[in-house]
Structure 1
C-alpha cells in the first residue's frame, strides 16, 4: 500500500536554468505547516533519475514531531520537467552536473519562502548531492542528514562489485555474460539484479508500492542516469562521465552544520563508503542501523524515524 498523502498539498515551482532552452518546473509536496515555528525538512531523493515516492513515509515526522516535510522531484525525473533532449552531450555539453540540482534546490527554497532556516535529509544520491550543497555553506541550512549516501561514487561502486562476488555462481555467470554482451536491459539481467536489490537495496519484498512507483518512473526516462554517468551504458557496476569522478573526500571538512550519517549493513554506503564523512565533518554522528541495507526508512521505519526525529528536534 502506498503512503497516504492525505492532508498534504502539491505544487509546481518555476525553475530557471537558461541552458535548458525551455521553461522548467519543480514538482513538490508539502506535509505540515510551513508557517509554524518548527524548522522544515527538505527530503532529497536518490538516483540520479529516481523520484520522491520511496521517501513519502517521512510524513511520519510531521505526524509525530510536527516537522513540516517537503519532498520534490529533481529536474529530469518524476513529476518535474523532463529533458530527454539533453541526452546528447554534443548539443548539451556539461549540462548534467551537481550544480543544476543545487540551483533547483535554491530556487525551490526561495519559492516556498523558508530559505532562511531549513534542514535537509538526502537519501542515497540525494545525500551525495546534499553533502556537496552543504560544503558550500548555504545560508539557512541548520542540520544535515546523509542517509545511505556514499562519500564518493568510487566507494559505492566498490561495494557493488564486492556484493556481486557474493552472489551464487550461476548469478555471477549471468552478469558476466550480460556485461560482455552489454545486455543490461535483458530479462535475465533484470532477474539477477532484482535479487541483488533484495539483498542490498531493500530487504522488504515484495518491494513496497512507494518503491515501485519510483522504480517505474526511473525506468520510463533514463536520460539523467545515463547522461550524468551513474550507470555506464546501463551497467550498474561501472560509472563514467561526471559521476565517475565524483567525490566529497577533501571537501566534507567544509560542512559546518551538525550532521547525522545513517547507513545499513552490506549496502552501497556501508563501511569505508562513509568514512570520509565521519573523518572530515567536524560535527558528525554515524548511526548504522542493524538489520537494514540501503532502505532503513522502509526496513526499520519506526527505529529510523525515531533516530531522525530526535536529531532534528534536539536542542
Structure 2
C-alpha cells in the first residue's frame, strides 16, 4: 500500500541556475507545520535520479513526533524540472556535479523560510549529497542523518563487486558474459540483477508500492544518472565521469553538525564504506540495523523510525 498523502501539501519553488539556460522549479511536499517550534526535517532522495516517493513512509516522523517533514525531487528527476537536453556534453559541459544539487537545496530552504534551523536526512546518494552539503558548514543545519550512504562512490562499487563474487557460479557467468557483450538490458541480466537486489538492496518482496512508484518515474528520464556516471551503460559495478571521483574522504572532518550514520548488513554502505565518516566527523555515531540491507525503512520500518525519531527529538 502506498503511503497516504493526507494532511500534506505540495508546491513548486523557483530554482535559479544560469547554466541550465532556462528557469527551473523544485517540486516539494510538506507534512506537518513549518511554523511550529519543532525543527523541520528535509529528506534527500537517492539515485541520482530516483525520486522522493520511496521515502514517503518517513511521514511517520510527523505522525509520531510532530516533526515537520519535507520531501523534494532533485532537479532533473521526479516532479522537478527535467533537463534531457543536458545529456549533450558539448552544449552543457560539466553540468551535473554536486554543486547544482547543493544550490538547489539552499534555495529551497530559503523559499520555505527554514534556512535558520533544519535537520537533514539523506538516503543512499541523498546522504552522499547531504554530507557534501553539510561539510560546507551551512547556516542553520542542526543535525544530520546519513542512511545507507557510502563515503565515496569507490567504496560503494567495491562492495558491489565483492557481493558479485559471492553469487552462485552460474549467476557470475551470466554477468561476466553480459559485461563482455555490453548486454545489461538483456532479460538474463535483469533476472540476475533482480536476485542481486533482493539480497543487497531490499529484502522485502514484492517491492513496496512507494518504491515501485519511484522506479516508474525514474525510468521516464535517466538523463541525470546517465550523464553524471552513476553506472556505465547499465553496468552498476562500474561508474565513470563525475561519480568515479566523488568522495568525502578528507572533507567529512569539516562536518560540524551532530551526525547519525545508519547502515545495514551486506549492502553498498556496509563496513569500510562508512569508515571515513566515523573517523572524520567530530560528533558521529553509527547504528547498524541487523536484518536489513540498503532499505531499512522498508525492511525494519518500526525499529528504523524509532532510531531516527529518537535522534531528532533528543535534547
Q: TM-score category by the smaller chain? A: over 0.9
**Deviations 1:140-197 (CA, angstroms, capped at 9, x unpaired):** 0000000000000000000000111111111111111111111111222111111111
CA distance in 2, matches of 1:43, 1:179: 35
CA distance in 1, matches of 2:236, 2:136: 29
CA distance in 2, matches of 1:10, 1:216: 20
CA distance in 2, matches of 1:172, 1:269: 22
Report the Cα offset of residue 27 of structure 1: 0.6
Report the Cα offset of residue 233 of structure 1: 2.1
Moved more, 208-217 or 135-144: 208-217
**Deviations 1:171-226 (CA, angstroms, capped at 9, x unpaired):** 11111111111111122211111111110000000000111111112222111001
Task: Check if 1:53 corresponds to 2:53.
Answer: yes
Report the Cα offset of residue 106 of structure 1: 0.5
Q: Match of 2:119, SS?
A: strand
**Deviations 1:42-83 (CA, angstroms, capped at 9, x unpaired):** 000000010001100000000000000000000011111110
Return the TM-score normalized by structure 2.
0.99
CA distance in 2, matches of 1:192, 1:212: 19
CA distance in 1, matches of 2:36, 2:81: 30
**Deviations 1:239-291 (CA, angstroms, capped at 9, x unpaired):** 11000011000110000110000000000000000000001000000000000
Task: Check if 1:135 corresponds to 2:135.
Answer: yes
CA distance in 1, matches of 2:35, 2:283: 29
Map 1:47-196 → 2, pairs under 5 A:
47-196=47-196
Q: Aligned-residue CA RMSD in angstroms?
A: 0.6
Map 1:166-315 → 2, pairs under 5 A:
166-315=166-315
Moved more, 151-160 or 183-192: 183-192
Q: Match of 1:146, SS?
A: strand
Match of 2:6 in 1: 6
CA distance in 1, matches of 2:185, 2:107: 36
Q: Match of 2:230, SS?
A: coil
CA distance in 2, matches of 1:153, 1:244: 6
CA distance in 1, matches of 2:108, 2:182: 39
Count of equivalent residues: 315
Q: Match of 1:14, SS?
A: strand
CA distance in 1, matches of 2:138, 2:92: 28
Q: Match of 1:247, SS?
A: coil
Moved more, 81-90 or 39-48: 81-90
CA distance in 2, matches of 1:126, 1:97: 14
CA distance in 1, matches of 2:50, 2:16: 21
CA distance in 1, matches of 2:219, 2:197: 15
Q: Match of 2:219, SS?
A: helix
CA distance in 2, matches of 1:243, 1:257: 25
**Deviations 1:106-134 (CA, angstroms, capped at 9, x unpaired):** 01001111100000000000000000000
Q: Match of 1:265, SS?
A: coil
